[in-house]
Structure 1
Amino acid sequence: MANIGTVLKEEIARVARKQQRAELAQLKKSVAQYRSQIAQLKRRMEALERQVRKQARSAGRAAPAAQAEEDKPALRFSAKGLAAQRQRLGLSAAAVAKILGVSALSVYKWESGKTRPRPRQLEAIASLRKMGKRDAMARLAA
């Protein structure tokens, strides 16, 4: 009878080990998945932190410009409006460029709508709107 008891004990231990191995295999698989997910999330978090730092640096540079823009009234720009002003004054693109202190190519690109003028140049264009033909000719001569 002791022999049957030992055999039974050994069989129970074997079945228990087999059961444990099956459960451990599942646990190992899920742990491996969790570790890869954690590593992926860490990489994503680092990338997002880099983006935040980069945006904070660029926002720090843009902040003084934004404050300066808040003090001044908002200036609107339209390509057709600039072309109309130039024609109203009877000037060429090169002449307008000389008055504004930019290149003729810049004026051409603004009028064609390919680019937009910078805020400093918008102010010069706004002053162009207030200018008459005589004032424009005087500025060109000067």
Structure 2
Amino acid sequence: MQILQFLSYFLIVSQFFHFSHADVGTAAQYSPPYLPTACYGDDQSQFPSSNLFAAAGDGIWDNGASCGRQYLVRCISASQPGTCAPDQTIQVKIVDYAPTALSSSSAQSATIVLSETAFGAVANIAVDSINIEFQHFFDSSCRV
């Protein structure tokens, strides 16, 4: 009987919480000019005031469905020791598609190409790319 109670409790609780996991990939950076973007054209309001935004690589582009998505990103390793900013996780908004971005990426085939500000927030040393852990951020205050 205790197993049934536990399962019932688990099913009720799981409806209120979204269990997710992080993926790993690579991040590069790109520099201005950032406009126009594949997601929002020349609209300046697309950029968060924090300047923490990114262009999606092929792996997360999803035929444009990634436009506006928010990701939590943290550096986990790089070719040079000490590159990653310790315990630093940032939230970025996807505003562009990396292969067609006006400014070229510092490394080809990156999962996410971060703005200069975003890349500098997670990496202490200027390198072409870093290894990252990232996950789609769901804002529980937004309901559709």
Normalising by structure 2, report the TM-score: 0.25
- Which structure's residues are more often helix, by fraction? 1
- Which structure's residues are more often strand, by fraction? 2
Structure with larger Rg: 1
